[in-house]
Amino acid sequence: MADTLKQLIQAGVIAACAQIFVALSNMPVAFDDRTIVEPWLSMGYLSLLIVPLFSGSLQSRKIKLVNQQLSSIARITSTAPDTDTDTKRTAHSSPTHAPHATTESKARPHPVFSLVGFPAFSGFLAGAGLSLLAVSIVNFDLRDPLLNWSPQLLEVLNFERSVITAVFAWPIICSALAAASGVLQLVNKKIRRMVVAATVAVVGAAVLESLVVDIAQGLHIKPLISKLYAPRGGLHSAGLLIVVGATMILALNSQFHVLRLLRARLGRLITTRRDYERRSDSISRHSSPSSPRRGLRLLGLVASLSANTKRLAVALLILLVLPMSTGKLTNELLANIGLFVLLALGLNIVVGLAGILDLGYVAFFAVGSYSMAVLTAASSPKVSPELPWLVALIVVVAVTALLGLCIGTPVIRMRGDYLAIVTLGFGEVIRLLFLSDWLSDWFGGAQGITNVDGVELFGITTITGTDPRSVFYLVLVFCVLAVYVSWRLERSRVGRAWMAVREDETVAQIMGINTVNVKLLAFVVGAALGSFSGAIFVAKVGSVFPSSFHIIVSIVILVVVIFGGMGNIVGVIAGTVVLIGVLGGPRQPGLLQEFSEFKMLIYGALLVWLMIARPQGLIPKAHKTRRLQEEDVEQDAWLKASDSEMESLSQATTAAAPPLTRTTPAKTPASTELPLLETRALNVSFGGLRALKGLHITVREGEIVSVIGPNGAGKTTLFNAITAAVPVSGGDILFDGCSLLGLDPNDITTLGIARTFQNVRLFGSMTIRENVMAAQHCRNPQSILGSLLCTPTFRRQEAEIRQRAEQILRFFGSRLVGFRLDQPAESLSYANRRRLEIARALATQPKLLLLDEPVAGMNPAESAELAALIVEIREKWGVTIVVVEHDMMAVGAVSDRVIVLDHGGKIAQGSYSDVISDPHVIEAYLGEDYAITNS
């Protein structure tokens, strides 16, 4: 109980501090004029009241969780005595057996009391903080350091009455609100959702007032406005009822699940697209392109597209029509949002897809703006070619992409966090350069370049900042372009490579991806998209100043991208619309213009809160949100239902899929040619430790060789040396007759060596299919242009990759296919992860497969199965295999030959039976004494 009290007081004090901070930050005074509900609630009070609400709901949720746990413990201990009288006695007589349940159940207050009363108590403390503040303002003068220690604040705190009101009212109000949020935890989940939705709707309706009014005026439905809003702003009491009522009806209509349904809808958007892809695949598989059924196929495509396309078309239509009916301010806002959507989509490629934290993204925006201004404006100080806009745009994109390359190259090999700071530095340096006297001949220094003309398109229209509607349409075009580019790239070879690099860079490289080039490409694509935004920004504002490109811009874009959900296009757009629309950009006002002072404060707090509480953002990638149990149930159902379907499907695809076998057929183990792999006097050392000492081994083509040895013998180091994961300090490694020294891991994979890892390292949040598809990177000639334009060649290649992936996965039985194909790899069981890792290695089409403890951690049945599979891999695909393994059953089952390492050197080799009776081997494993007595 004392603990609970301490926690409550702690929560209360924290809430009080938060409220005092809010009060002293001037928010209540600044927002006082913004009414939410006409006579009795303004944004200013809301900013204060939101604290006890939030803290109360946090508290009550915590208490609820504890209560649930306690009651479940109590249930266990209370059911136990029925079966065992002994326990009953002990449980009652001595509390040591179940201290929690027995002591707490007596002391534990009624749930209503704990859920409502406890938060109310901490709410009371929070309110007391405000009372204290009001009294202090009356009695002391701290105006000197604290700017907002002002009579105005006192007025707000006093409710424009006397201090006594403040002293009594705040604790009561705050504890009532905290208690209310506790009550919400008591009631039915559906009702809770409804209340929350209604509250959000009321605040939203008030916040969106100017937008609603603007649209309504454009559509000539003024009566609506007067019904909803009071003349001086804010909702009427009647308007309040309308909004609440409408929300309730909506909520009832959608079976109480407004929010969840919305999320599910958005999730479905993504899955339906997957379905479409699958369907269009099957369509293209069944009909050859030149067949007379082409028209039919198109029709089929349209039919399968519809669900997705309809939504897209509706969204586009609204975006096209909406600005017609809205006023200048709204259009201005829309144009600003559009500019930030462009930036956010660009950064999303860099941060969300490729996982490169670029904190200097504003550099590309700045360079885009400045180069556009120099190229098109007559007022440009040094050179003014006054190129037509579209021509200039090409130059601008080229310049920015080049800059992306130049900034990217030095930083791309750095570790993620260093890269972040260095890019931040570059962003700042570029602003300083534009600002400097040194380059002021070119860029005008602090004065910047002014009087930049608008965009003249084909002599038909001119787009300037004075007509925000035209700017919006221009931005829209580029946004659609950016969405298209991101969408296409994400589902192509390079997109998968980006995601693989994001998940695990080392492994991505060992899977044959040239990580440096791939990351540079992300940088360049991001830069190009950022430059679009910059180019339009100039036309909109009509001038460029260095101060528009402060580092804050980068951070705001980052917040927006994280808020929406990194890596998810829909999420990023939604996040940008919400945040930039409501709060505004660094220098652009949002709907809440009073917020300009507090914008960055809110962005900062939001970023911290997001990282702690919701790092995946508002709308995370769809497949991650599904619950694992649901998946298992569905997988089981699928397995039962579709055995027969599987059969037919596998027959169909084996007929259609390209042959996976490499040209070399499986050979008999004892071929006498040049060895496939040979190490010559291989040395690897870490500091003083020599992990491999002059190791000579050979592996002939078609063999399965096991490498065994005690821990620390250098087995994994051997693999690491072969795949260039550790530097070789002496000797040579020959593969197919050529040396591997000095090559990058991805080159080695391209030559035909693939490996798995001792501690399974999959691309966790990518799906199983994507894992295997990404590994085909080095065998896949897909071009970026092809994937952008979606050419037939691209589609064919993509289908091939996909089929090959499924074919490989099917090799492992039903475990990795079917429903599982689109599940994230991290949802798999341990044994299945090991299998998937082998599948991923096979997908690189190796000549030599290095398996690092493939059966570790599996049960005997699974081990035996996998051992059989390893042999089958050689039979089916003619792959030479080297296995590092401790499980001697598996070693005996698979190996043609066994090599034994100890202390970095080879101590024995030969057949399994020879090796296990070799005295040196026994000595290495069991110690000298045993070896001597045995021999």
By CB under 8 A, is residue 869 in contact with another protein? no
Q: Compute CA distances 20 → 6, 26, 51, 126, whole Å.
A: 21, 10, 10, 9
Please state, in angstroms and rounded to a whole number, the distance separating the CA atoms of residues 277 and 273.
6
Please state, in angstroms and rounded to a whole number, the distance separating the CA atoms of residues 592 and 47.
13
Question: Contact 602/595 with Cβ under 8 angstroms?
Answer: yes
Q: Tell me how far, at minimum, the Cβ of 614 lies from another protein, in Å.
A: 12
- Among all chains, which residue has been given the structure tokens 């180091």? 717
By CB under 8 A, is residue 505 in contact with another protein? no
How many Cα neighbours within 13 Å face the side chain of 718? 33
Quick one: tokens of 198? 């209604």
What are residue 682's DSSP bridge partners? 695
Q: Which of 95, 204, 425, 712 binds another protein (CB under 8 A)?
A: 425
Q: Which of 138, 269, 607, 639 binds another protein (CB under 8 A)?
A: 607
DSSP state string for 532-598? HHHHHHHHHHS-B-GGGG-HHHHHHHHHHHHHH-TT-HHHHHHHHHHHHHHT--SSS--S-GGGGGT
Please report how the helices 551-564 and 569-582 are oriented relative to each other, as an axis angle in degrees rounded to 10.
Answer: 120
Point out which span in 20-28, 79-87, 329-337, 880-888 binds another protein (CB under 8 A): 20-28
Please state, in angstroms and rounded to a whole number, the distance separating the CA atoms of residues 526 and 360.
12
Q: Which of 9, 249, 611, 641 binds another protein (CB under 8 A)?
A: 611
Query: Scanning residues 524 to 583, which ones bind another protein (CB under 8 A)?
Result: 552, 555, 558-559, 562
- Closer of 416 and 792 to another protein (Cβ): 416
By CB under 8 A, is residue 516 in contact with another protein? yes
By CB under 8 A, is residue 523 in contact with another protein? no
Point out which span in 307-315, 325-333, 416-424, 700-708 binds another protein (CB under 8 A): 416-424
- Closer of 171 and 355 to another protein (Cβ): 355
- Closer of 3 and 437 to another protein (Cβ): 437
Q: Which of 13, 176, 395, 421 binds another protein (CB under 8 A)?
A: 421
Torsion angle of alpha carbons 106, 109, 111, 115, nearest 10°? Answer: -140
Q: Which of 151, 604, 792, 919 binds another protein (CB under 8 A)?
A: 604
- Closer of 23 and 372 to another protein (Cβ): 23
Q: Tell me how far, at minimum, the Cβ of 557 lies from another protein, in Å.
A: 12
E strand or H helix at 213: helix 209-218
By CB under 8 A, is residue 741 in contact with another protein? no
By CB under 8 A, is residue 499 in contact with another protein? no
Quick one: tokens of 671? 């071929």
Q: Tell me how far, at minimum, the Cβ of 720 lies from another protein, in Å.
A: 8
Binding mask 430-459 for another protein (x = CB under 8 A): --xx-xxxx---------------------
By CB under 8 A, is residue 126 in contact with another protein? no
Cα of first residue to Cα of last residue in the chain, in angstroms, is: 70
Q: Which of 412, 518, 619, 695 binds another protein (CB under 8 A)?
A: 412
Q: Tell me how far, at minimum, the Cβ of 415 lies from another protein, in Å.
A: 7
Nearest to 625 by CA among 828, 772, 352, 823: 823
Nearest to 535 by CA among 396, 387, 337, 399: 396
3-state SS, one letter per residue, for 224-274: HHHHHECCCCCECHHHHHHHHHHHHHHHHHCCCCHHHHHHHHHHHHHHHHH
Binding mask 338-377 for another protein (x = CB under 8 A): -----------------x-x-x------------------
Task: Give the ranges where 583-676 is alpha helix by DSSP (H).
Answer: 599-613, 622-625, 628-641, 643-656
What are φ and ψ of residue 911, in 5° steps?
-70, 165
Point out which span in 21-29, 164-172, 173-181, 493-501 binds another protein (CB under 8 A): 21-29
By CB under 8 A, is residue 13 in contact with another protein? no
- Closer of 425 and 878 to another protein (Cβ): 425
What are φ and ψ of residue 6, in 5° steps?
-60, -45
- Closer of 45 and 603 to another protein (Cβ): 603
Quick one: tokens of 625? 């949100």
Binding mask 49-88 for another protein (x = CB under 8 A): ----------------------------------------
Contacts of residues 409-412 at CB distance under 8 Å and 24 or more positions apart, as own/partner, are: 409/520, 412/356, 412/516, 412/519, 412/520, 412/523
By CB under 8 A, is residue 160 in contact with another protein? no
By CB under 8 A, is residue 673 in contact with another protein? no
Q: Tell me how far, at minimum, the Cβ of 428 lies from another protein, in Å.
A: 7
- Closer of 555 and 816 to another protein (Cβ): 555
Q: Where are the beta strands (DSSP E) in 156-231?
A: none
Q: Which of 68, 466, 517, 651 binds another protein (CB under 8 A)?
A: 517
- Closer of 436 and 935 to another protein (Cβ): 436
Q: Which of 13, 186, 225, 600 binds another protein (CB under 8 A)?
A: 600
Neighbour-count burial of 111, counting CB atoms closer than 10 A to its CB (0-12 exposed, 13-18 middle, 19+ buried): middle
- Closer of 440 and 653 to another protein (Cβ): 440
Quick one: tokens of 718? 């051997």
Point out which span in 304-312, 460-468, 593-601, 909-917 binds another protein (CB under 8 A): 593-601
Please state, in angstroms and rounded to a whole number, the distance separating the CA atoms of residues 98 and 93.
11
By CB under 8 A, is residue 148 in contact with another protein? yes
Query: Scanning residues 23 to 52, which ones bind another protein (CB under 8 A)?
Result: 24-27
- Closer of 26 and 42 to another protein (Cβ): 26
Q: Which of 39, 99, 410, 919 binds another protein (CB under 8 A)?
A: 410
Q: Tell me how far, at minimum, the Cβ of 600 lies from another protein, in Å.
A: 4
By CB under 8 A, is residue 689 in contact with another protein? no
Please state, in angstroms and rounded to a whole number, the distance separating the CA atoms of residues 700 and 669.
7
Point out which span in 361-369, 605-613, 657-665, 672-680 binds another protein (CB under 8 A): 605-613
* DSSP letter (8 states) at residue 707: E
Q: Tell me how far, at minimum, the Cβ of 528 lies from another protein, in Å.
A: 19
Q: Tell me how far, at minimum, the Cβ of 438 lies from another protein, in Å.
A: 5
- Closer of 262 and 414 to another protein (Cβ): 414
By CB under 8 A, is residue 595 in contact with another protein? no
Q: Where are the beta strands (DSSP E) in 407-458?
A: 455-457
Q: Tell me how far, at minimum, the Cβ of 405 lies from another protein, in Å.
A: 9
- Closer of 724 and 809 to another protein (Cβ): 724
Number of residues that bind another protein (CB under 8 A): 65
Please state, in angstroms and rounded to a whole number, the distance separating the CA atoms of residues 499 and 480.
22
Q: What's the sign of the alpha-carbon dihedral 833, 836, 841, 847?
A: positive
Give the number of other Cβ atoms within 10 Å of residue 45's Cβ.
18
Q: Tell me how far, at minimum, the Cβ of 558 lies from another protein, in Å.
A: 7
What are φ and ψ of residue 492, in 5° steps?
-130, -175
Q: Tell me how far, at minimum, the Cβ of 893 lies from another protein, in Å.
A: 31
Contacts of residues 466-472 at CB distance under 8 Å and 24 or more positions apart, as own/partner, are: 468/328, 468/331, 468/332, 468/334, 468/335, 468/540, 469/323, 469/324, 469/328, 469/331, 471/331, 471/335, 471/338, 471/536, 471/539, 471/540, 472/323, 472/331, 472/334, 472/335, 472/338
E strand or H helix at 850: strand 848-852
- Closer of 156 and 412 to another protein (Cβ): 412
Give the residues lining the site for another protein (CB under 8 A): 21, 24-27, 144-148, 355, 357, 359, 409-418, 420-422, 424-426, 428-429, 432-433, 435-438, 516-517, 520, 552, 555, 558-559, 562, 597-598, 600-601, 603-608, 610-612, 615, 686, 720, 725-726, 742, 744
